Structure 1
């Protein structure tokens, strides 16, 4: 109770300072004996008052950021740490968020109650939280100064954020470039001095995973959900469908394949000689720069692969990331036994996660790639509020599926 009383007094003092500053300080009138906001906060207020209305109710949206998240260097390490981030957010009533270098949120997680509160101010994927868009907050200060920051209650210029406290730390690449920030936010009455240490530790963990991946990275990126393509250092690598199938199987099973096991995964019971697979593997090794071992067929170094990331998100219980990255069936059109098995695994995994969730957005996103799945469309309709305009999309999909 004593801690809450102290926080309440601190919040009241900041509210008074905020109100006085808006009526006098913003006009350049001396504040007299009134305590001004701390220096870095006041400087941020002064910079952003030209572009941000303190009465705005939420952050503007950058729109659909799926592609940006899919291509972000932060996606893989954040996906690996999703379980830890989700546990911290759930246990301490935080909302966790990761932005890119522009301050646009690419990923977030939190308990349902806190996430709903956050969504009201668009503290969610697509929300733009840099200083020109949302003025003073921990994210914008961390982006600007490249240092960790805490912003409490009425230190936010925007009044809609006065009920929040935010803890934020920058995330840097191995070469020192700022890639974005990690933020933990909660309501002002749950403010705790140890939270900033937690966010620093988590940001450091993300950076450590970035450095490890950078040291091992082969520069190869494989896209196989809803499509099939391979790039090396950004340049397309032309592969026949069979070679893409083999590469996808190796990416999804890092332990590798014996010759016999891979032969069956590719050809099934068809009478295909062992030399055929050896020939295919020789070609694939040349095309990938020798990144495949021989005795056991295994990738020498990990490659970026959308299907691998979806499988990792499912394993971590991160439905939001799994749905965001899922872009359709694994190598559509392939009838290779191993691909068919993994295709079913991913489809069933994502679909089950969607139907187990109370988030209508997940059903709507997944529904794009499951046009004939009546149950998914009906699930979206059950979850969407009566006056939500997106009901039209779910209803149209359901009607189309029923007609077919």
Structure 2
């Protein structure tokens, strides 16, 4: 964007801010609705001439950061974050879910500017503490946000432009905080928002498995609280470490509820379980009633929804594949999902999981994983051939893979 355009845009934002702050006009036709809403929230909490963000307790902030999944992820990609900040003379900040800054790094000029307004670890950047800003907006909306010049409520950052994107736990979806990129308004660039989004994905990719899934990595039925289901290659269900004795249809109903934590109406569940089969809803209600009894009442109605923690090997395999941990996904993959199921939804899910595992191996044919997969799919010679073609002569896995190939071709 040409400097003259940026100057015009900045002037427009200053006029709208002045109209709102000094004359009480709502500026509804000038600024975005989310900015106006935040201005209103800010006006009720702070003065527009606030000089710096308030600081949270230093020891508490350090304790929240040390050993956290966010710290682990940021440290893994810190070189890339630092390079981005230095190349663009940006200050980059990572916050917690309350928009408290936990980590920053800045280029030479922006670092000094950031320090003067407490854009530093411990700085509280929710809009009720320091006024409208991109960190708070991204945290509230769950989407990447930009705040330019006087769109900030506090005049101390009217010379800034900020781009922020939320950071989530890639496994659980839990909101962890945001990453923000800030610089001076005259360095505004259309790629800023996309860069914030990329940096957020970079951190999420580097995130360690959450505690819940670190336990699930072994799928320890004996100690894992809540419902644990093995559905791949076998059908076994535990509740708080106790094995549940369920028939085939009850297992299918329970599996579908596990895959839909938001809940399912009676009609939707019936369609997923039976498809076009001529089965009455009263039959399904009877199965659900038995399940509710077996689960100690932890199955809500309207919609049908499980009310305890749920872990499945299907979620584990798909999560590992999303994270690029192909060998671990194959280890967790026990075979086809409920072979022979008559549920159209589960048959579709079974195909999705099987194809996802196979395609991941074709893209990344780890020899140990291919040998393990060969035990589950002994006639899938293409995966073995792709692996053999990528291995150097003399690799210790070559004879085993050739043996697997010969056995399949007999």
Contact kept, 8 Å, 1:17 with 1:35, in 2: the verdict is no
- 1:179 is displaced (CA, Å) by 0.4
Partner of 1:356: none
Superposed counterparts of 1:186-225, under 5 Å = 186-210=183-207, 217=214
Q: Which runs of 4+ in 1 moved over 6 A?
A: 213-216
Partner of 1:4: 3
SS at match of 1:101: coil
- 1:217 is displaced (CA, Å) by 3.6
Contact kept, 8 Å, 2:89 with 2:106, in 1: the verdict is yes
Contact kept, 8 Å, 1:168 with 1:199, in 2: the verdict is yes
Distance in 1 (CA, whole Å) between partners of 2:139 and 2:85 is: 22
| 139, 143, 146: which one aligns with 1:147 | 143
State the TM-score, normalizing by the size of structure 1.
0.51
Distance in 2 (CA, whole Å) between partners of 1:216 and 1:30 is: 48
- 1:139 is displaced (CA, Å) by 0.3
Indicate how the Cα distance of structure 1 residues 3 and 209 shifts in structure 2: closer, same or farther if over 3 A, else same. Answer: same
Contact kept, 8 Å, 2:20 with 2:26, in 1: the verdict is no
Partner of 2:82: 86
Partner of 1:51: 45
SS at match of 1:157: coil
Contact kept, 8 Å, 1:95 with 1:184, in 2: the verdict is yes
Superposed counterparts of 1:329-344, under 5 Å = none
Distance in 2 (CA, whole Å) between partners of 1:111 and 1:167 is: 16
Partner of 1:13: 12
1:147-203 deviation per Cα after TM superposition (whole angstroms, max 9, x unaligned): 110000000010011000000000011211110000000000000010111110110
1:261-292 deviation per Cα after TM superposition (whole angstroms, max 9, x unaligned): xxxxxxxxxxxxxxxxxxxxxxxxxxxxxxxx
Contact kept, 8 Å, 2:21 with 2:48, in 1: the verdict is no
Q: Give 1 or 2 for the bigger CA radius of gyration.
A: 2
In structure 1, runs of 5+ residues without a counterpart are 220-232, 234-300, 302-404
SS at match of 1:6: helix
SS at match of 1:186: strand
| 98, 105, 109: which one aligns with 2:101 | 105
Distance in 2 (CA, whole Å) between partners of 1:40 and 1:92 is: 27
Distance in 2 (CA, whole Å) between partners of 1:15 and 1:47 is: 19
Contact kept, 8 Å, 1:151 with 1:165, in 2: the verdict is yes
- 1:110 is displaced (CA, Å) by 1.2
Aligned length: 217
Partner of 2:163: 167
1:303-357 deviation per Cα after TM superposition (whole angstroms, max 9, x unaligned): xxxxxxxxxxxxxxxxxxxxxxxxxxxxxxxxxxxxxxxxxxxxxxxxxxxxxxx
Distance in 2 (CA, whole Å) between partners of 1:116 and 1:30 is: 34
Distance in 2 (CA, whole Å) between partners of 1:30 and 1:153 is: 18
Distance in 1 (CA, whole Å) between partners of 2:104 and 2:26 is: 41
SS at match of 2:156: helix
1:345-371 deviation per Cα after TM superposition (whole angstroms, max 9, x unaligned): xxxxxxxxxxxxxxxxxxxxxxxxxxx
